[in-house]
Amino acid sequence: MTLLLSIDLEDVRDWVENGEKYQPRLRINTERYLAFFDQIGVKATFFVVGSIARQNKALITMIAGLGHELACHSDRHIQLDKQSRRQFIADIKRNKETVENICGQQVFGYRAPTFSLTEQTMWAHELLSEAGFTYSSSVLPAKNILYGWENFGEKCRRMASGIWEIPMTLHSLPFFRIPICGGVYLRVFPYWLTRYSVNHSMRTKLPIVSYLHPYDIDQEQERFMHPDLHGNHLLNALMYIGRGSVFKKLAKLKRICEFLPYGHYVRMRLERGIIPDNVAIENIGAMET
Ligand SMILES: [Zn+2]
């Protein structure tokens, strides 16, 4: 069983009004992730916002030096439906160049801000492919109050432009289509529920796709209203729950899953020739594990 491990490297203060008045916590939280990953012997993918990379060059170099994968998470974390195609091209190019120049390695992966790659913005796959990306993990394949591509399906797919899309893994119960190993859900739900869902996913033979943020492990962060919650205090309270449980849950999941960076997984599948490059998209099923 494979779990694709990732951190979306962004500073939550950037989306909060007057966010700069709160303590900077990104570096310390990222270093805690790095120490934990080292402790349990795993590598992850860090999807990095370009502006964050420019402000934290030493941190980016450290992540790369420890053998983790660096990938892109847009240059300024603007959702795809709020950009024109021209703006999107400029954004991903700047993001890719920034990260590559700092870490000295080529970057292959991309994740859209807030999983905002949907049926309405599906043009992004082709532009990502043209910009030199091999894979994207930007789709939440369900109806969602923010962004979702309802009919995308749960399988990894090679899109017509050649880029792989690795959609978020959702809980298997109907009417409960939430990411089982995504930040808030991993924090808030008890481990037995996560484990139940992971067990079910094992039967699909698809990798479990996860995401976490620096703040998901931060128990010392000051309290403020988080973005995209429309001022809802109940939802905001959830943002602070379970932050002390993330490492414990990941350590337990590590016993039943092999943790891999996304790029490693895609390369492995392509090298094994499971999906020949010339197969038409309609003939491609899951990337079988
Ligand atoms: Zn993000």
Q: What is the DSSP string of 122-165?
A: THHHHHHHHTT--EE--B--S--SS---TTS-SS-EE-TTS-EE
CA distances from 22 to 12, 13, 165, 220, 241 (A): 10, 7, 36, 12, 19
Centroid of ligand 1 to alpha carbon of 78 (angstroms): 9
Supply the pLDDT for residue 146: 83
Instruction: Locate the domains of the chain by residue range.
Output: 2-283
Rounded to 10 degrees, the C-alpha dihedral 139/145/151/157 comes to 10
- Ligand 1: distance of its center to the CA of 114 in Å? 5
C-alpha 77 to ligand 1 mean position (Å): 6
For residue 176 the two structure tokens come to: 């409960």
Cα(144)–Cα(150) distance, integer angstroms: 8
Is the CATH number of domain 2-283 3.20.20.370? Answer: yes
Tell me the whole-structure pTM to 2 decimals. Answer: 0.92
Q: Are 14 and 22 in contact (CB under 8 A)?
A: no
CA distance 138 to 125: 10
Question: For every one of its 289 residues, what pLDDT tens digit does the chain have, with 9 covering 90 and above?
Answer: 899 999 999 999 998 888 999 999 999 999 999 999 999 999 999 999 999 999 999 999 999 999 999 999 999 999 999 999 999 999 999 999 999 999 999 999 999 999 999 999 999 999 999 999 999 999 999 888 789 999 999 889 999 999 999 999 988 776 677 888 888 889 999 999 899 888 888 788 889 999 999 999 999 999 988 877 888 898 899 899 999 999 999 999 999 999 999 999 998 888 776 654 443 333 333 344 3
Distance 8 CA to ligand 1 centre (A): 6
* Residues measured by CB to lie within 5 Å of ligand 1, the ion: 8, 10, 113
- Spacing, Cα 40 to ligand 1 middle (Å): 25
**Amino acid at the residue 73:** H
Ligand 1 centroid to residue 273 C-alpha, Å = 32
